[in-house]
Amino acid sequence: MRAIYLLCLGILLFTLPGCKYFKSTHPQAGLPEEGTTGMTDKSILNFAAAIDRNLNDYKRQYSLIYQSGDLSVYAEKYSAHNDGMLYKTYTANGTISNTVKSYYFKNDSLILVKERIKLMNEEGGIYKDVRTYIRNNVTFKIDSRTASSAEALRTLPYLPVQAADNKYPEDNYVSDIKGINDAINGTDKFDMAFDNISTYPDALYIMLKSKKQPSYRASILVKNKDAYIDSLLNFPSLFKEGKLKFKWKIEDNLSIYVPVADSTTSASGLNK
């Protein structure tokens, strides 16, 4: 039960109050959605599979890894001109639970949400895949499979999830997508300010905290120092509560600082 609670809490880190169905903000959103209205579950899966196969050709954007208590969250966005788009979120609570959630779009319309869930407890593990099919902003099918191991899960077929009174529960996908974009862009509750720079015998971390939600934090591992880092180390009070500008990459589930190319450039003035 505690694992399920923590998993739900992790997903909520991305969500915000909003409309129940995902509605496109594209200028032509009021027009018929050509190419999506007649899609079936099979054609949706084929379209999503094509996106997965071509991800290396898509533009990739990604967030820092954010923490709130024992939970961590991370987001990615893959996009191509006049083509499909994919958002992904990763939430984890150590070895207790983790979820990967994927949102597939066509013509600015959400058509598929896939979830891969892993829960661990004293009795062992629960592995679950869920697929939610969406057409004209309405869920028309859900299927899933559950097993006690990842290996067993891959061998199982998906089984339909029956809708209550021929209607599936409403999901707040607008909030999900807004939360993902905020995480990637560092806005709203993911607008992070400099807190401190922590030094350890074998590690150095830039520590950030949310301006709106102080419990939301991010740590960035510094492997190689430059003038920017020297400024943070020597004059931390000048940057306290300010917004830092820097580049990072994601490796081995860590946000890692990317040194400034011109190492003679001071960080002074870059925290605006």
Residue range 247-252: mean pLDDT, rounded: 94
On average, the pLDDT of the chain sits at: 84
List pLDDT tens digits, range 137-189.
Answer: 899 999 999 999 999 999 999 999 998 877 888 888 999 999 999 999 999 99
Domain range list for the chain? 2-184, 191-258
**Cα 112 to Cα 188: distance, rounded to the nearest angstrom:** 26
**CB count, 10 Å around CB of 206?**
24
List pLDDT tens digits, range 26-82.
Answer: 332 333 345 688 899 999 999 999 999 999 999 999 999 999 999 999 999 999 876
Two tokens at 110?
């959400």
User: How many residues belong to the chain?
Assistant: 272
Instruction: State phi, psi for 238 to the nearest 5 degrees.
Output: -70, -20
Q: What pLDDT is stored for residue 13 in this prediction?
A: 60
Largest CA distance in the chain: 66
Burial tier of 132 (Cβ tally within 10 Å: 0-12, 13-18, 19+):
buried
> To which residue do tokens 């030094």 refer?
199
Which residues, listed in sequence order, are joined to residue 134 by a DSSP beta bridge? 139
CB 161 within 8 A of CB 144: yes
Two tokens at 230?
């020297």
